Amino acid sequence: MKTFICEICGDAYLGEEKPKGCPFCGAREAFIKEGKDTDPIVNQKEEIGEVSIKNLKEALDLEKDAVAIYNCMAGKADTYEIKAMYKRLAKVEMEHVSIICKLLEIEKPEIDVEECNEDDVENFKGTVDLEDNAVNLYKKFTKEATEKNMKILFTALAQAEDDHIKLIKNYLN
């Protein structure tokens, strides 16, 4: 058994094979390294400029809202599979909250309660819209970032949110 560590969130995965993606933050396989070779960005002390701080705060609000809405959707899901999927998405988005809070050196905020639709199909459509907005925002933040780690973070977040869109589109087809 080996220890693999995500370069984005810093969490460890134990197994024989490197996972295809981080089970905690959703970062793709390229961001997962063997433990001895990893220096996660959440552990690096890089000065963050004003633009990236503003963008991190906006990302924090977006991720908090995603956690809240996914928790609502899990509670209204028609099947256990859909409920479990939304609970996992909420956990991934909460991991994004944790990463951002570590980088901003702030405490994790409380998550508000959100309202959502009673219908799974409408919630799937809402999820695609939510995640599409996140992908576009994170791509914009990647371009605006001047810090290496912020470019890496926003790239990884955009990819993770894009993977969420692909997941949800499977339910819409």
- The tens place of each residue's pLDDT in the chain, 173 residues long, gives 999 999 999 999 999 999 999 999 999 999 999 988 789 999 998 899 999 999 999 999 999 999 999 999 999 999 999 999 999 999 999 999 999 999 999 999 999 988 998 999 999 999 999 999 999 999 999 999 999 999 999 999 999 999 999 999 998 88
Q: Tokens 């479990």 map to which residue?
A: 84
Q: Which candidate, 21, 60, 27, places its Cα nearest to that of 160?
A: 27
Residues 11 and 87 in one domain: no
Angle at 10 between CA 93 and CA 149, to 5 degrees: 85
- Give whole-number Cα distances, 35 to 19, 107, 109, in Å: 13, 27, 30
* Domain CATH for 17: 2.20.28.10
Residues 87 and 114 in one domain: yes
Count of Cβ atoms closer than 10 Å to residue 82 Cβ: 17
Q: Which candidate, 131, 118, 60, places its Cα nearest to that of 89?
A: 131
Residues 77 and 32 in one domain: no
Residues 34 and 59 in one domain: no
Residues 90 and 10 in one domain: no
Note down the domain range covering 38. Answer: 2-42
Residue 12: CA atoms inside 13 Å, Cβ hemisphere, count? 10
